[in-house]
Structure 1
Amino acid sequence: MALDFQGRVAIVTGAGGGLGREHALALARRGAKVLVNDLGGSVKGEGGSLSAAQQVVDEITALGGQAMANGASVTDFDAVQAMVAQVMETWGRVDILVNNAGILRDKSFAKMDMADFRLVLDVHLMGAVHCAKAVWEHMVAQQYGRIVMTTSSSGLYGNFGQTNYGAAKLAQVGLMQTLALEGAKHHIHVNALAPTAATRMTEGLMPEAVLAQLNPAAVVPAMLVLAHESAPTRAIVCAGAGSFEAAHITLTQGIHLGSGPDVDTDLAARLHEVLDRANETVPSSGQAQGESEIKKAMAAHQAA
């Protein structure tokens, strides 16, 4: 039986085509009311039209669902706030935010224009920040919310020619980590999805035979799980071609060397121990990492 989203209200950004469209349709098919946001620009973020978003709305209404279109740029905080106000005025709540909007300006770092670097950060990172900020007070007030960030293997592991995109995508993970901690007491769960899918943004990057395996619809189940009332929080779920994995930012056991003039020499000699991944952990927070280091220092001091 499909996951149930009856009575839920969702905002999906960048939902005029590709993966965002699949997200919006899947949520609507399962009973959610959906605001379909799309600037209607090119893959590079140029131009704009409401027609793409409206077409998805028409598809949803044809299926018997409820949806409305919005053409706000996620880089414009005032427009994003107006978008959320539109949802609140129409449906009275907002339960789900899927931050999917994105653009590409790929070039090697040596050739990259700084304006292209900044624009990609503005769309992916600040776009996610603007949308999360605009829905946050409403989710706190209703004591419920689900936010899905869209990260990427380019951010998690790197890809040639995507320093701007990779930096923006991993930054969304950092945003997710703290929002999940701050949202926990309000039953707001925040997760990140790393999709591998064939969309306008991947055209020309992979062979056709590979792209054929990467149907965007195959990623959608992971989004649905992360957006559902049963969702975990602080998870990074990777999805593509029907496979699903989890990525973790881990911490090795490391070593304690104390302080002194020769610590750099000692560290260089024993760096392999610091990098050893045996028994690595996933700290519950940044504070937990600091507490681990303090604990080692105190143990060394007491043993001295």
Structure 2
Amino acid sequence: MDKQNFVDYIRVYCRSGKGGDGCVHFMRLKYQPKGGPDGGDGGRGGHIILKGNAQLWTLLHLRWKKHIVAGDGEPGSKNNRKGKDGRDVVIEVPLGTIARDEQTGQVEAEILEDGQELIWVPGGRGGLGNAHFATPTRQAPEFAQKGEPGREGWKILELKLLADVGLVGFPNAGKSTLLAVLSAAKPAIAPYPFTTLQPQLGMVAYRDGKSFCMADLPGIIEGAAEGRGLGLRFLRHIERNAVLLFVIPADSPNPLADWQILVHELEKYNPELLHKRKVIAISKSDLISEMQEIQIRQQFPPEIPLVVISAHQQKGLQELKDVLWQQLNV
């Protein structure tokens, strides 16, 4: 898919429906001229509802839909007839979508399952008809309740990709090549930075017909948490990954420093990311000697699983999948 078609952030103006007014009416029959109040209730205003759709992976279909308006409830009528509820609006979104209020920043809804439905912006309640207000001392109330207004305001829909494993690394670290080798995904691959301008998802086949989802995210650079490069826009996707796979190129002048910078950027963006399970993959190992490989292994924390791989030579790939599967099922 073209990079312009990946949309993970949408700003929309939402307005739910107004509740219908309650009715003021008195029963008038031929043989019962003063039958008492029989005004019906107003219908509720239409809701704006979010629904999860596993077939969607972008918010592109909402790009040009800037105003989402639900229907108003109809007023009640005589004979205790309730007004019709307002028309609901159902917005289908990909799994991993978070809905926020733009003004407060508060998370209002989160969609994680296919078919999951949540009322995002509720419609106003319908007003009660005058039949509800009759009492022994007030048998003919000449008033009814007004319907509640709907809610309106600018809202944010933000997609955070749901993947088991997220690839984290500098531009041109070999993440796209690794994803292409491990899965059927076809990410753009070229020997220059920022080849990946949009997240890529791929299913990695494991043993006995099992599989897990891997996401290749645009490369992080130093200062990404402050908005440099492409990192800030896509750091949100890392929050959804169960395991973070740090891809460090073996031909880097200082692999340990690369690792420390990546960890520091994640910590600045969201310190909770450091509590996720982590795996280190030293890529492009075909460019270094065995002695250099041993030296690199000794530099990294022993408590974090480390696998030396080469996508070009198919080296260490099965071992990497074994380690990732183990971390996903701890």
TM class by smaller structure: 0.3 to 0.5
TM-score by length of 2: 0.34
Larger Rg: 2
Q: Per residue, is there more helix in 1 or in 2?
A: 1
TM-score by length of 1: 0.36
Q: Per residue, is there more strand in 1 or in 2?
A: 2
